[in-house]
Amino acid sequence: MKILFMRLEGPLQSWGDRSKWNERDTGRFPSKSGIVGLLGCCLGIPRGDARLVNLSTSLRVAVRADMQGRRLVDYHTVQAKEIMSAEGKPRSVGNTIVSHRGYLQDASFLVLLTSSDDRLLSNCAAALQRPVWPPYLGRKSCVPSLPLYVRESDVYASLKEAIENESLSKRAQEYYKRQKSQEPLCSVWIEIAVERAMDNIDRLSRQDRLAAVMEKSRRFAWGSYQESRVLIKGARN
């Protein structure tokens, strides 16, 4: 199985889970739609381009939280005479708009991507190394502190095998060495294929599969993930 490995690490990350209007939360791990958006940015695909839907349906993702990070909620205010509404029309603003925006601080995620289309994976790998537009971790203010591209490999038979044997990031290894009483037990989420999702009882559901894009809006479908925790061998060596 050909797998593309990505590293998402930075001071701040934000991956919207149930964000609505002025309340902008973050999920515990990068959403598939967020990862697809990041790849689209690197590939130079505009936000309203239908090729993003093809990316979402063609790729299968898995995420490992090497460092889960800490949640931060920013009290954010907007002052303007008018803003754009959800329909893309100007709307008058009488008072200051208050918004709460969630972030993950000092998190580090290993993201695995696989597809039946090896050429698509190769194109994504090349784009991660030479992005068309500057990539960011969920929001434009969230800049990655490490290169997104890690490597490509075909030595593993499954995403589960790869995620259990791939080494931690350097910063995560240093963290676990300092935490002598804490085992390097990492949370893992592996996307379940659509045809298997209904049969899997032990799963996490998330509305993060990009189903359609329009000029000023997007539509999402529900995705399912197998959630577990794995002990990373040799993390303290």
Within a domain: residue 87? no
Within a domain: residue 76? no
Identify the residue whose tokens are 């598939």: 32
Here the tokens at position 189 are 């989420």
Within a domain: residue 95? no
Question: What is the domain extent for residue 190?
Answer: 3-69+107-231
Structurally, the chain folds into a number of domains equal to 1
Within a domain: residue 99? no
CATH number reported for the structural domain that contains residue 123 in this entry: 3.30.70.2660
The tens place of each residue's pLDDT in the chain, 237 residues long, gives 999 999 999 999 999 876 666 667 788 999 999 999 999 999 999 988 989 999 999 999 999 999 999 999 888 777 666 666 656 677 666 667 777 788 999 999 999 999 999 999 999 999 999 999 999 999 999 999 999 999 999 999 999 999 999 989 888 888 888 877 667 889 999 999 764 545 545 678 888 888 888 766 778 888 899 999 998 865 544
**β-strands 97-114, 23-24 pairing:** parallel
Within a domain: residue 53? yes
pTM above 0.75, yes or no: yes
Cα distances (angstroms) measured from residue 22 to each of 14, 61, 76, 140: 15, 29, 9, 17
Q: What angle do CA 162, 123, 207 make, to 5 degrees?
A: 65
The separation between the first and the last C-alpha atoms of the chain, rounded to the nearest angstrom, is 28
Within a domain: residue 56? yes
What distance in Å separates the CA atoms of residue 40 and residue 145, rounded to the nearest whole number? 19
pLDDT digits (tens, 9 = 90+) for 179-230: 776 678 899 999 997 645 455 456 788 888 888 887 667 788 888 999 999 9
Within a domain: residue 153? yes
3-state secondary structure of 215: coil
Q: What angle do CA 144, 168, 27 make, to 5 degrees?
A: 55
Within a domain: residue 54? yes
Please report, as a single letter, which amino acid is at residue 75: Y
3-state secondary structure of 40: helix
- 95 Cβ contact partners less than 8 Å away, ≥ 6 residues apart: none
